[in-house]
């Protein structure tokens, strides 16, 4: 069992809130994702056992939504905006810089499982472009120095 008792309890609670077990797929996946950090076939199977629907239904829903990571991610998920405002203010070179600094490409995770780098569409902070989001926090008006500082802080914190 990958899911903890706590997660299972939460999923069962959700089961009470919806008329059909099929509706619980997404909430259950969210619970699992919060706990594990990614979802995969084993988790689909566990969820399908808990809410008693076929595994394939869970798998279909989970793969449709791109924000459920399908493989383990680093502790810090770096999401760099590459839409127009950020792009005009040098997001591309910034992404290149982060790639070089962490030694990974977009979509990859560092070997120490600390950072995962992805690009995202507009995060609604165009006024402070270029920007990125690391886990739940925004980092704005970025420069190379600032990025150095941020990554250094996170690394020492970890």
Partner 1 sequence: MADDIKDKVKTDVPTVTFTMDGQEVTVAKGTTILEAARSIGIHIPTFCWHPKLKPVGSCRMCYVEIEKWPKLAVSCVTEATDGMIVHTESDKVKRGRRATLEFLLLNHPLDCPTCDQGGECELQNLTFEHGIDDSRFDFQKNRFTSDTDNTVFDDKRIGPEIILNRNRCILCYRCVRANKEAFGEYDLGVYERGNIAEINAAPGQQVNSPFSGNLPEICPVGALTSVDWRYKMRVWLAGKTPSICPYSSSGSNILIYTDDNKNLIRRVTSRCNDDIDDGWLSDITRYGYQIANSEERLQTPLIKKEGKQVEATWDEALEVICNRFKEITEKKGKVCIGGLISPSLDNASLYCSSKLFRTVFNNNNIDFRTDYRMLPNKPDSYFGMLCNRSFRITDIDDSDVIVVLGSDLIREHHNEYLRIRKAVNFNNARVFSLNPYSVKSADVAQAEIVYNIGTDEIILVAIGLAAIEMGLVEQGLAQGFKEKVKLGSLAEATEVCGVSSDDVKLVARALAGDGKVSVIVGELITRSHGREAVASALFNLSRLLGIDKKGQMAVLARYANSRGAEKLGLLPIPTGAQVEMLKAMWGKFPDAEPQTTDAMLALMHKEEISGGLVLGGNPIMLYPDRQFITEGLEKLDFLVACDLFESETTELADVVLPMSSWAEYEGSYVNLEGCNQVACQAIKHIGQSKPAFEIIRLIAEKIGTSLFESDEQMATEIEQLLSCEPDNATPDNFVDVLPLSEEVDPDFPIPLCICDDPHHTGALTQKAPSLTNFTGEAYIEMSPDLAARLEVSEGQPVRVESPVGKIVMPVKVSKHIDNDVVIIPRNFSQIRVTSLLMRKKRVDRVRITKVDE
User: Contact positions toward partner 1, by CB under 8 A?
Assistant: 41, 44-45, 54-57, 59-60, 63-64, 66
Q: Which is nearer to partner 1, 54 or 124 (CB)?
A: 54
Contact 72, 37 (CB under 8 A): yes
Least distance from partner 1 to the Cβ atom of residue 7, Å: 19
Q: How far apart are CA 147 and CA 135, in angstroms?
A: 15
Q: In angstroms, give the least distance from the CB of 69 to partner 1.
A: 14
Write down the least CB distance from residue 26 to partner 1, Å: 15
Pick from 110, 122, 97: which is nearest to 154 by CA? 110
Nearer to partner 1, 53 or 126 (CB): 53
Element (H, E) at 134: strand 132-134
Closest distance to partner 1 from the beta carbon of 19 (Å): 17
Q: Which is nearer to partner 1, 60 or 153 (CB)?
A: 60
Q: Given the complex with partner 1, which of 16 and 66 has the nearer CB atom?
A: 66
- How far CA 92 is from CA of 12, 119, 144, 152, 153, in Å, comes to 45, 10, 12, 21, 23
Reported as half-sphere exposure (CB side, CA atoms, 13 A), residue 108 has a value of 12
What is the torsional sign of CA 157, 123, 29, 69? Answer: negative
């Amino acid at each position: 069992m990958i899911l903890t008792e706590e997660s299972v309890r939460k999923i069962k609670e959700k089961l009470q809130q919806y008329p059909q077990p099929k509706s619980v797929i997404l909430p259950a996946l969210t619970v699992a994702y919060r706990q594990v950090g990614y979802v995969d076939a084993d988790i689909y199977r566990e969820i399908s056992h808990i809410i008693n629907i076929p595994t394939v239904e869970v798998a279909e829903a989970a793969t449709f939504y791109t924000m459920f990571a399908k493989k383990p991610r680093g502790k810090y998920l770096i999401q760099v905006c590459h839409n127009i405002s950020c792009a005009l203010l040098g997001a591309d070179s910034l992404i290149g810089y982060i790639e070089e600094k962490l030694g990974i490409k977009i979509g990859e995770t560092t070997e120490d499982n600390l950072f995962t780098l992805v690009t995202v569409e507009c995060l609604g902070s165009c006024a402070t472009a270029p920007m990125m989001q690391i886990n739940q926090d925004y980092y704005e008006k970025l420069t190379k120095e600032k990025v150095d500082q941020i990554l250094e802080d996170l690394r020492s914190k970890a």
